[in-house]
Amino acid sequence: MQLLPTAPLGETPVRAMTIAGTDSGGGAGMSTDLRTMALLGVHGCLAVTAVTVQNSLGVQAVHTIPPQIVADQIRTVATDIGFGAAKTGMLATGEIIDAIVEVAADIGLGRGRAIPFVIDPVCASMHGDRLLAVEAMTAMRERLIPIATVVTPNLDEVALITGITVVDDATQRDAAKALVDLGAQWAIVKGGHRRDSPRSTDLLYDGTDLFELDHQRFDTPHDHGAGDTLAAALASALAHGFSVPDAARFAKSWVSEAVRWSYPLGAGHGPVNPLWRVAQD
């Protein structure tokens, strides 16, 4: 597949920012984002929102970072290093979401502003551990999604955000429309978990144009970090200057390969593998 260019050695590369939580097991969250960004020629900057105590069996504890410190990490990087796109992952609380919304307005991040903003509305881990407080759903729905350049929910997140249960093509389209109605410029409704289809088909929609991003589905228990990887690849491609449809097509192929080459780790669910691109036979 096509790759993204890296800067000539010694020159400043393209930058992107991940606003996300850590996973001590290294399979999801910020570490995954940074691996994907590095492999796509992007210098990844980071605003940590929460530290999770986590292994392949689940999340045992969460320590959240004060909202002001989250916002300050974003602001201090934006005003010095600069970045061409940002993405969110685990945001933990409504207060953190509101701090991000405020700093985004100040630095020109988000829909209709200079810097594209990918919102991956992470709500829970694959084990069902909550990564966003129940009471933060209003902030997510009413304040963060309206400033998304692209929002990238999976089907569980679609149900929590829009109330729509996606079971077929028609409900997947309804969900994409509902997300655009909430204010996102583009919505990607990921179809990887659709039980009625043997393919993994995501829908990309902006209220006018509808694209199907279709790929063979790889069934594996080791898909920890798949959503993070898609959003990080999308933000990387946007930082490189791709249009949203081109970035989304690129990110879909990137994450599909990462799922294909995922590996076991620990006794539970292993991670997808953004390192597939540098693996040697």
Using CB under 6 A, list all residues that contact ligand PXL: 20-23, 28-29, 52, 54, 89-90, 122, 125, 131, 225, 227-228
Closest distance of CB 58 from ligand PXL, Å: 8
Comparing C-alpha atoms, which of 208, 163, 215, 220 is closest to residue 190? 215
Closest distance of CB 50 from ligand PXL, Å: 7
The answer to whether the beta carbons of residues 266 and 25 sit under 8 Å apart is: yes
- Return d(Cα 265, Cα 220) in angstroms, integer: 13
Q: Is the dihedral of CA 175, 176, 178, 179 positive or negative?
A: positive
- Return d(Cα 244, Cα 46) in angstroms, integer: 22
Whichever of 90 and 180 has its CB closer to ligand PXL, that residue is 90
Tell me the residue nearest to ligand PXL as measured from the CB: 29
Closest distance of CB 17 from ligand PXL, Å: 15
- The kind and range of the H/E element at 188 are strand 186-189
Whichever of 30 and 74 has its CB closer to ligand PXL, that residue is 30
Comparing C-alpha atoms, which of 220, 158, 155 is closest to residue 191? 155
Whichever of 59 and 145 has its CB closer to ligand PXL, that residue is 59
- Return d(Cα 171, Cα 183) in angstroms, integer: 19
Closest distance of CB 222 from ligand PXL, Å: 13
Closest distance of CB 25 from ligand PXL, Å: 8
